[in-house]
Amino acid sequence: MKYTSPSSEKGIHTDFKNNMTYGEYLHLDTLLSSQERLSGHHDEMLFIIIHQVSELWMKLVLHETDAAIAAIQADDLPASFKKLARVTRIQEQIIQGWDVLSTLTPAEYIEFRDALGQASGFQSYQYRMIEFALGYKTGHILKIYEKDPELHAQLEKAYHAPGLYDVAIQALRKAGFDIPEELADRDFSRLYEENEAVKKAWMTVYQNVDRYWELYQLAEKLVDIEDSFQQWRFRHMKTVERIIGFKKGTGGSSGVNYLKKVLDHHFFPELWDLRTEL
């Protein structure tokens, strides 16, 4: 294969004295100088970057999920499908991140763990906002963020806002299904509880796919997201177990035991139950 020198590309721009560069557009000076190892240990760089990359992906998950919620509320279900499909692909990237972090051994981690103090992924506010968007509302968590009033207010707003499943249920009602008004306009800060009317509606959708194609597509996109989210949680739990066993987390949680417990929660319970009953 013949080698092509970059110098043969006559149209390549090289003079950026008065133009924006790639690095400036992405603020790479800020991004790449944000990995400060508190211990100086070699493997702390891996630990920092994996968590920073996860936070960037979570920012995009929230960006897409919020847009999908708005699209569903505007009765534009097809517009939500692309965004929800993208969320699932993003989740795949975060899951693979755990595979990289699992190369960190217990002996290596204990060399810099004390430098973390009480800082923990348990405190990730973006992770909490994703849980809120998926309907997993836990009010006691909000206390963690009281240190930052602006952030706390942002989380409070998300805590009381309708989540992805709430707007999906509202879409069922708009489509003529017998969904009680008090359920469609419930207190969204409360953890959603399985409802027979919602299960009956989704059952009808799955039994009449051609008639309710868009609602059927919405339901399957929700299942994709929950499936991927639970895989994310599982890989998180197994990575933590691999690195620290059953020690407490740096943030004071029970660590693996806590992560195992949340695996039992379903965000969209009726969509899983009907698979047994169909």
Q: Tens digit of pLDDT for each residue in 10-62?
A: 777 777 788 899 999 999 999 999 999 999 999 999 999 999 999 999 999 99
DSSP secondary structure code for residue 121 in this structure: G
At 46-102, the pLDDT tens digits run 999 999 999 999 999 999 999 999 999 999 999 999 999 999 999 999 999 999 999
pLDDT band at 254 (very low <50, low <70, confident <90, very high): low
Question: What percent of the chain is predicted at pLDDT more than 90?
Answer: 77
> Which residues belong to the annotated binding site for heme?
236
Contacts of 24 (CB under 8 A, 6+ apart): none
At 101-143, the pLDDT tens digits run 999 999 999 999 999 888 888 889 999 999 999 999 988 889 9
Residue 210 has pLDDT above 90, yes or no: yes
**CA gap 205, 211 in Å, rounded:** 8
What six digits make up the tokens of 143? Answer: 């206390």
> Which residues belong to the annotated binding site for substrate?
47-51, 109, 113, 250
Q: Is the distance from CB of 123 to CB of 251 less than 8 angstroms?
A: yes
Average pLDDT taken over every residue of the chain:
92
Q: Is the distance from CB of 271 to CB of 206 less than 8 angstroms?
A: no
How distant is the alpha carbon of residue 11 from its chain centre? 41
Multiple choice CATH, 42-276, 3.40.1110.10, 1.20.1340.10, 1.20.58.480, 1.10.579.10:
1.20.58.480
**CA gap 68, 91 in Å, rounded:** 16
HSE (side-chain half, CA atoms, 13 Å) at 69: 19
- Could you tell me the residue ranges of all domains in the chain? 42-276
Q: Which amino acid does the sequence have at 263?
A: L
CA proximity to 196, closest of 207, 183, 186: 183
Q: Which amino acid does the sequence have at 162?
A: P
Contacts of 200 (CB under 8 A, 6+ apart): 177, 178
> Which residues belong to the annotated binding site?
47-51, 109, 113, 236, 250
| The residue to which tokens 């944000």 are assigned | 34
Contacts of 94 (CB under 8 A, 6+ apart): 54, 57, 58, 232
